[in-house]
């Protein structure tokens, strides 16, 4: 009863505890900008209730904050607050946005610092001419500015003076296969407009994923522009040419044709429709160099880390050990292949589906992770070593393959203490040889002096009568045992069908089959290899097709038990249906 109350309190209080966890993060829409641009710092806060105060910003000597706004939303029944600070840079050089602090219930939370690089404005530099003519100038951009930002600046200054224009640029025009790079599409405007549907570019030999949009202000010459930027993460799956088609935006200027004034007086609409398009971009995707290690699964990038979590490390024979290997780093890991975990003698390995996702942006570069899960099931007791797991990637910066290693892990496996419903058909058992002592049925009698003669002893004088009585008793016991055995066998199928209806997972279905084989055919599944159980079924008259069907289903149940994530669309209902049909076939063939 106390255990039930404890579990109930955990279920009730668990969600409250999770909801109370405070999460504070800070990010910027860019980490490289010029003096004529602006930057937006976004602070996200969740897990708090009641009256919320503004987070405490650090000292910002390199920036002037000229705009603040707050936004509240509800995600998974939890309030999420966004605090946005729009800032202008003050001087050229490297600047740091220190930790943002927030105090809640006498506890202070901090964000990680963010490094920002501020570059000088583009300069118009005169070009010397040998012949007389109009003066010629060229745009000189800070050479340290990243390629994407530099290209956006170059294109925006070329369009200076136009009230509207749309430009696009990439961070790398010659990426490697599977290397993550970015595309930015900016719509600049210096006049009012409305009704502006945007059409993103089409791509060829590229996977494109949206990263979000931002707004900003930029002064070009004597004109102050606002811009809206759409940013994408791109990955090229194959070497060769790749193309990014033009993006477009159609907008209206002037007075709306659907204004109330026009509808009331029948005036003619004075709105005009315009369309801006960006220039298409052609890329040349480079193939990876030769020399790929066996532990290379297609990841291309930098700043990767590898970690492994093994739980538990002390188990009994037949119990599951969960192994999770996680990779983190720059760019996207979704296109990389799944990790192949090493084989370990004495263990059966059940690989599970990998999971991947995005992490907070770091230094302006999107981050991601990928986790590979597997289940190791030991077949015999002993001390084992899970060897180091290798994972390699290609670094575009160094143009070399690099290999990461996890630390080896010691595993301790002890003999199983479980005595019922054991259905791990392993090639070995804790006792060795594929067999395990389950119990003893030999009982020794104690010696004592003969008892005093009683009525039963005196009846022994009637010899022939005693023989006849013993024969009658033996006959009755024989027929009673046959009836009991037949009744138990008949009940086995009925009980199995009833238990099967209540089974909701692989273990319950396997328990049902194991119990049926024991009751109906006297075949014990405890610690026997699958091939021995299949041979026993054949000796009982089961057809080879049904034996093969049993073996296939048992392997599926084994996988569903230890690695349910790897099963995919195969659910308990389908497994239960297959088990029901198999039971009927076994019942028909062993009558």
Is the pTM here over 0.85, yes or no? no
Q: What is the CA radius of gyration of the chain?
A: 37
Contacts of the segment 123-126: beta carbons below 8 A, 24+ positions apart: none
Question: In this structure, how many other beta carbons lie within 10 angstroms of the beta carbon of residue 470?
Answer: 10
* Residue 381 main-chain phi, psi, to 5 deg: -75, 160
Burial zone of 186 (CB within 10 Å; 0-12 exposed, 13-18 middle, 19+ buried): buried
Q: Mark residue 560 as left, alpha or beta (left: phi above 0; alpha: psi -120 to 50; beta: remaining).
A: alpha
Say what the pLDDT of residue 277 is.
Answer: 96
Burial class (CB in 10 A: 0-12, 13-18, 19+), 210: exposed
Give, rounded to a whole angstrom, the gap between the first and last alpha carbons of the chain. Answer: 45
**Cα 208 from chain centroid (whole Å):** 20
Task: Look at phi and psi of residue 309 and say left if phi exceeds 0, alpha if psi is from -120 to 50, else beta.
Answer: beta
The pLDDT assigned to 416 comes to: 83
Pairwise CA distance, residues 182 & 553, whole Å: 48
As a 3-state breakdown, the chain gives helix, strand, coil percent values, each rounded to 5, of 25, 35, 40
pLDDT at 455 (0 to 100): 52
- Residue with tokens 């990680």, as numbered in its chain: 112
At residue 17, the pLDDT reads 41
Domains (range + CATH), the chain: 20-119 (2.60.40.10), 127-285 (no CATH), 296-414 (2.60.40), 482-589 (no CATH)
With b for 16 or more beta-carbon neighbours within 10 A and e for fewer, the 50-69 pattern comes to eeeeebebeebebbeeeeee
Residue 148 DSSP SS3: helix
State how far the Cα of 96 lies from the Cα of 59, in Å rounded to an integer: 10
d(CA 115, CA 30): 10
Q: What angle do CA 198, 202, 205 make, to 5 degrees?
A: 155
Q: Two tokens at 396? A: 């575009």
Query: Nearest-CA neighbor of 310 among 425, 167, 212, 413?
Result: 413
Read off the tokens for 424. 């791990």
Question: How confident is the chain (591 residues) per 10-residue block, as mean pLDDT?
Answer: 44 44 88 89 88 86 89 82 92 92 90 91 71 70 90 92 95 94 95 90 93 89 91 93 96 67 51 91 95 92 92 90 91 84 83 80 81 89 90 93 93 79 47 40 47 54 62 62 56 84 81 84 71 83 84 77 57 80 84 73
Location of structure tokens 């602006």: 38
């Amino acid at each position: 009863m106390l255990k039930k109350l404890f579990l109930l309190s955990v279920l009730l209080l668990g969600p409250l505890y999770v909801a109370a966890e405070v999460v504070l993060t800070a990010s910027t829409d860019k980490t490289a900008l010029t003096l004529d641009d602006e930057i937006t710092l976004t602070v996200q806060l969740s897990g708090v209730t009641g009256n919320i105060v503004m987070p405490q910003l650090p000292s910002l000597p390199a920036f002037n904050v000229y705009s603040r706004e707050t936004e509240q939303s509800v995600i998974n029944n939890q309030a999420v607050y966004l605090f946005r600070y729009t800032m202008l840079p003050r001087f050229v050089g490297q600047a740091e946005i220190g930790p943002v602090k927030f105090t809640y219930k006498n506890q202070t939370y901090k964000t990680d610092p963010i490094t920002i690089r501020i570059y000088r404005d583009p300069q118009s530099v005169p070009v010397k001419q040998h012949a007389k003519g109009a003066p010629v100038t060229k745009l000189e951009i800070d050479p340290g500015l990243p390629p994407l930002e530099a290209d956006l600046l170059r294109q925006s200054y070329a369009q200076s003076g136009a009230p509207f224009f749309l430009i696009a640029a990439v961070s790398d025009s010659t990426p490697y296969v599977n290397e993550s790079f970015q595309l930015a599409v900016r719509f600049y405007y210096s006049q009012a407009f409305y009704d502006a549907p945007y059409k993103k570019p089409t791509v060829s030999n590229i996977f494109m994923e949206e990263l979000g949009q931002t707004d900003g202000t930029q002064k070009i010459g004597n004109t102050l522009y606002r811009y809206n930027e759409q940013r994408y993460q791109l990955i090229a799956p194959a070497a060769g040419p790749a193309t990014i088609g033009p993006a477009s935006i159609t907008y209206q200027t002037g007075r709306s044709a659907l204004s109330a004034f026009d509808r009331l007086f029948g005036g003619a609409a004075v709105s005009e429709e315009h369309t801006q398009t960006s220039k298409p971009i052609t890329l040349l995707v480079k193939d990876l160099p030769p020399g790929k290690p066996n532990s290379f699964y297609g990841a291309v990038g930098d700043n990767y880390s590898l970690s492994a979590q093994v739980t538990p490390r002390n188990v009994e024979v037949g119990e599951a050990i969960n192994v999770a290997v996680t990779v983190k780093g720059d760019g996207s890991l979704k296109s990389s292949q799944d990790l192949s975990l090493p084989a370990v003698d004495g263990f059966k390995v059940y690989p599970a589906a990998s999971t991947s996702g995005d992490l907070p942006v770091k230094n302006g570069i999107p981050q991601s992770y990928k986790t590979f899960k597997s289940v190791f099931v030991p077949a015999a007791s002993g001390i084992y070593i899970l060897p180091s797991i290798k994972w390699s990637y290609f670094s575009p910066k160094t143009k070399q393959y690099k290999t990461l290693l996890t630390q080896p892990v010691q595993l301790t496996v002890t003999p199983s203490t479980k005595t019922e419903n054991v259905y791990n058909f392993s090639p070995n058992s804790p006792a060795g040889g594929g067999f395990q002592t389950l119990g003893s049925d030999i009982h020794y009698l104690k010696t004592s002096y003969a008892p005093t003669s009683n009525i039963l002893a005196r009846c022994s004088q009637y010899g022939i009568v005693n023989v006849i009585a013993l024969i009658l008793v033996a006959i009755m016991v024989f027929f009673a045992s046959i009836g009991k055995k037949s009744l138990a066998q008949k009940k086995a199928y009925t009980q199995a069908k009833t238990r099967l209806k209540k089974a909701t997972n692989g273990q319950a279905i396997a328990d049902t089959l194991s119990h049926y084989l024991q009751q109906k055919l006297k075949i014990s599944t405890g610690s026997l290899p699958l091939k021995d159980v299949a041979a026993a079924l054949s000796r009982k008259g089961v057809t080879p097709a049904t034996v093969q069907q049993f073996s296939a289903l048992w392997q599926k149940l084994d996988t569903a038990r230890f690695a349910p994530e790897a099963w995919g669309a195969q659910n308990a209902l389908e497994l239960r249906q297959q088990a029901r049909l198999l039971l009927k076939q076994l019942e028909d063939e062993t009558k």
